[in-house]
Each structure stands twice: as structure tokens, then as C-alpha cells.
Amino acid sequence: MSSAWPESWRVLDHGIRSGRYTDPAFARLEYDKLWSTVWQAAARLDEIPEVGDYATYDIGDQSVIVVRAEDGSVKTYHNVCPHRGTALSGGGNGHFPHCKIICPFHGWRWNLQGQNEYVLERGEFRGGQLQDSDVALRAVHHVVFAGFVFINFDRNPQPFDDFIAPVRELIEGLAIGQMHHYWWKALPVAANWKVAQEAFFEGYHVPATHPQLEPDSADIVMNGTPSAEAEAHFAHRNVHTEKYPHGHGRFFAGKKTPMQGHVRQAGDPIEMMAARLNLLVEGMDAMVLKEDVEIVRSLKDKPIPEGSSLGAEYVKALYTTAAQQQRPMPRPVPEILGMWGGEIFVFPNLLILPQAGNAMIYRIRPDGNDPDRCIFEIFSTRTYPAAVKPPRAEVRKITDIMDPEQVLLIPRQDFHNIPRMQKGLHSRGCKQIWLAVEHEKMILNMHQELDRYLKGTAVDTPVAGVSVA
């Protein structure tokens, strides 16, 4: 395969050839070699809280139903009737009444364990010798991890534990498994799925794309004369990016973030921090929620103890409030607190952006055979107080990604660029894109792993993960 590898599909040391984003043949190869063998998040458990609930996951021409069985376990089946192939779920999420899966065409019936319970005129099939195994629903490999149902179509998949090892402790430490539905949107985006997700792989785009988040830096980038002194304050300079085996990665802001109490001194630090967090509440309604800002404001008039900081006091107040509400929180250790405002990328298409007991999750997949289209989903999740039953996850299908009624400011700013990137990648003037060696290293790592799938050389040897002390 590699000898016939087209030049326009190559991953270079410092960039990516544009055909990887635009060529229908490359998209087909991804279906054949990546999506057919990789672990992928098919559902959140919140989609199927009650026995008999189901979720439908479609990827390319494949469809899977994810079911909550009587014993509380999760089952995953190919979405197909063994009789004549009717899809058992017509799409979307729903509930199987009386815990029976019934094919709409001729009424064959299964229990939630996938065992057939009824075939009309059974004696007519296979000379009257129809076996239960002939007509059982076909299971798909799955693993429940961190509130996700991961599936894998491969008959003999890489062990999930090996696959997730590099990021397991981070995700567990961040309590992603205890996060529940707050809102969930699905956006149709006119771009390749990789173009769309890579717009969220770095903080390098923030000054130009989200000027309100870094007004000083935006001024320098968009209007001003660059000066080394002013540029030293660029927030992305404080962001560390790491790449891991199996294509995963993360970035995190380290110490110099507002969450850690780092605010440039100009005015009341509490108001500055609250205003900064409010940009996320109003611009995303995710990661930081209204009540978190109120907690910052509650620190007014409380002296900061010697040796502490506003950021440290804020974190303490968040944890005290959560403890009173018996609300699960991320582990309060530096490795985990340092991830707030950062991102974990789970290859091939899952991004987790954690914050204080909230997290935003992105899942991006191709949409049919068109390399210029994808479905971009945003899950805003949070932990809930013990007294509150989390709601069942329901998707809101967005019809216009530029409509302020449907998409808030910050993602809208990102989606403003994404179709333009796709358009540009088709240009005869664009043979390749360039990648920053540090800030954009997760992109390169992702493509290198993608090639290992496409060329059939992905390795599944166990690797050590990031350890969270």
C-alpha cells in the first residue's frame, strides 16, 4: 500500500498534504481501515439511563444500537434485522416498549439480550430447523468507560485497556464518568471531520479567532506592531502540549491561567476573574457555569490567607460548595487541577475540555461519503448534586451554525473559520498546510497514527499512561 501512497496524502515532518482533507478516496480508505477497526465513542450513558432505552450510532454506512438491558448492563448490536435486513432503529434515540425489540417489517422480536423470541411462521425457515443463533442480534464489541460507550467493529479489536492507557488516569481523575448531560448539540459542518476537530487542537488561534478572550494579544495580532514584551503575555505561550502513543494527546495551561489566579493586575482581581469566567458562561454555557462565577464573587471581602492566592481560594470554595451538595468533583491534585481549561484528545475524534466539575466534549465524524462534510457534536456536561437526578441526554439538531440563537459566540467564532479552511484546502494554491512544531503537535501526532491505521501498521503494544499522583 505505501508504495502506491499518493503524494497528496502524505504526512510531512512539518505539515500535512491537503488531499487528506479533500480526496473522496482518502475518506473511503478511512472508512475501510480506520472506522472499521478503531475504538470510537458511540454514546454517552446518559442517552440510555432506563432499561429499554436505546441510542443509535451511525458512522458511514454502519449503524449500531446501544441498549440498556434489564440488568443495567449495556448491549451493542448491529442495527439490522436478521430476517431481511431492516434497520431495527430508524435512527435517533428512543425506548423499546416492554423491553422488546420488534422489527417493523414482519414483527420478529428479540429481548434486550439480543435473543430472538418470536418468528412468525418459524417452521418456514431453514427447513424448520431455524436455530436461535441464526436469528440472534449480532453484537458489536463495546466497553463502557468514563460515561461513554466505546464500540469497535473489528472482530478482534485492540484491547481497550491498551488503547486508552495513555490518557486513562487523566480522564478518570477529571471525573468525566460522573459528568452528566447539561446540553448536547449536533451541528452540520461543511468541512472534513479532521479540519473541524483540528480547529480545537490548540490555543494558538485564540488571539485572532476569539479576540474577546485575549484582547491585548488580539490587538497585537490583528492591529498592532508586534513587540517581544507584549507578546510574552500571549496565553498560548503558557500552554503545554503533549502527544501520546495511539494518537492521543493533551494540552494544558499550567500555572499562568486565571483559574490558577493569574490575572494581569489592572483593577479588582475578583471582578477581573469573574468577568473572564463570564466570557465562557455567556460565550459557551459550558465548562464554566453561572454558579461558578457566583462562587468567585462570594470571595469578595474575604481576606486571602498568607501564602494562598485568589485562584487557590476559588478552588477551595468550589470544593466546599460541591461537598455541601454532595456533588462529585475532579480529584483535587495538581495534575488534575492543571487540566482545567485544557484539553484531552482521544484518538480519533473525541475531545474533552474539562473544568471545575463541568466538561465540554466534542465528537466529530464524517457525514456520509462527502469529505467536505462532517457532524460536529458538542456535549456540555456537569456533575449534579446528589439530590438532583440528571436528565436523559437529548440532542438538539442545529440547522444553521452561524445562527446566534442556536450557537453561542465562542463556538460560532470557531465555526466561522472551519468551512473557509475546507474551501482553501481545495485551492490549487494549497498543496500542503504547515504545522507549528509545539503548538500544533497534536495534529501531526493524530495524522501519524491515522496513517498507521490506513497502512495497516497500527501497533497495539501496551504503553504506559500519564500517571496522576
> Residue numbers of the site for ligand FES (CB under 6 A)?
81, 83-84, 86, 103, 105-106, 108
Binding to Fe ion by CB under 5 A, coded x per residue (else -) over 176-195, reads: --------------------
- Measured CA to CA, the distance from residue 373 to residue 190 in angstroms comes to 5
Q: Which three cell numbers stand for residue 75?
A: 448491549
Is residue 414 involved in binding Fe ion (CB under 5 A)? yes
**Runs of H (alpha helix) within 268-398:** 269-284, 290-297, 310-324, 334-337
Min dist. Cβ of residue 83 to ligand FES (A): 3
Residues 377 and 395: beta-carbon distance below 8 Å:
yes
Question: Which residue's CB is nearer to ligand FES, number 84 or number 423?
Answer: 84
Which residue minimizes CB distance to Fe ion?
414
Radius of gyration of the chain (CA): 24
Question: Which residue's CB is nearer to ligand FES, number 57 or number 108?
Answer: 108
Question: Which residue's CB is nearer to ligand FES, number 89 or number 358?
Answer: 89
Question: Which residue's CB is nearer to ligand FES, number 82 or number 203?
Answer: 82
Stretch that binds Fe ion, among 80-88, 155-163, 242-250, 409-417 (CB under 5 A): 409-417
Residue matched to cell numbers 474533552? 352
Reduced to 3 states, what is the DSSP secondary structure of residue 407?
coil
Chosen from Fe ion, ligand FES, none, partner binding at 435 (C-beta under 5 to 8 Å by type): none
Is residue 198 involved in binding Fe ion (CB under 5 A)? no
User: Is the bond preceding 385 in cis, omega lying within 30 degrees of 0?
Assistant: no
Min dist. Cβ of residue 211 to Fe ion (A): 11
Chosen from ligand FES, Fe ion, none, partner binding at 83 (C-beta under 5 to 8 Å by type): ligand FES
283 CB-near residues (< 8 Å, 6+ apart): 210, 212, 213, 408, 409, 410
Question: Which residue's CB is nearer to Fe ion, number 201 or number 453?
Answer: 201
In 10 A of CB 439, how many CB atoms?
Answer: 18
Question: Which residue's CB is nearer to ligand FES, number 81 or number 112?
Answer: 81
Cα–Cα distances in angstroms (integers) from residue 139 to residues 44, 56, 115, 253, 263, in the given order = 18, 14, 11, 41, 52
Min dist. Cβ of residue 233 to Fe ion (A): 19
- Measured CA to CA, the distance from residue 349 to residue 197 in angstroms comes to 7
Question: Which residue's CB is nearer to ligand FES, number 83 or number 237?
Answer: 83
Name the DSSP class of 40: E
Min dist. Cβ of residue 149 to ligand FES (A): 24
- Measured CA to CA, the distance from residue 189 to residue 196 in angstroms comes to 8
Residues 313, 318, 323, 324, Cα dihedral to 10°: 100
Chosen from Fe ion, ligand FES, none, partner binding at 105 (C-beta under 5 to 8 Å by type): ligand FES
CA nearest neighbour of 244 among 165, 313, 315, 300: 165
Chosen from ligand FES, Fe ion, none, partner binding at 414 (C-beta under 5 to 8 Å by type): Fe ion
What residue ranges bind Fe ion (CB under 5 A)?
A: 414
